Amino acid sequence: MSFPRGVFVYGTLKRGQCREHAWPAVPRDIRPAWIRARLFGRADYPAITAGEDRVVGELWTFDDGQMDSVLRVLDQIEGTSGNQPHDLYHRHVVQVSGLDDHPLGDAYTYFYNSDPARDGFQPVAVANGCSRWDG
């Protein structure tokens, strides 16, 4: 079985955001990308849930030997401990596409584990066919 070697990020872990320097390894590649989900935002960070909108973010790709440490650190940042009911986010595998719609393969990403509206998030509007959070 093959595991993803990338992580799709859509918020504070993107380049230029407050957690950009929290990554524990240097990526092999970073590229703009999108996934299908529903994006919500607050001033401090965003959240996604299952949905069909195009959520734009970045695909960070790593060498096989780096993924364990990358996921361990990101799980801590995102408040997940094996997708338990009390976790803030759950890590899932999603299909990722480039901005040119070319499939880039599977990657890990983090879905919010409760109702975003209950926690003060607002839906992010879709503009030009995409939604994105820029802080």
Tokens of 60: 């960070």
Whole-number pLDDT of residue 8: 99
d(CA 57, CA 70): 18
| Amino acid 1: pLDDT | 54
Half-sphere exposure of 115 (CA within 13 A, CB side): 2
Q: Encode pLDDT of 79-128 as tens digits.
A: 999 999 999 999 999 999 999 999 999 999 999 999 999 999 999 999 99
pLDDT above 70 for 129: yes
Q: What is the pLDDT of residues 36-83, one digit of tens each?
A: 999 999 999 999 999 999 999 999 999 989 999 999 999 999 999 999
At residue 47, the pLDDT reads 98
Measure Cα distances from 4 to 38, 46, 95, 134 in Å: 22, 23, 10, 25
List domains and CATH numbers for the chain: 6-123 (3.10.490.10)
pLDDT band at 135 (very low <50, low <70, confident <90, very high): confident
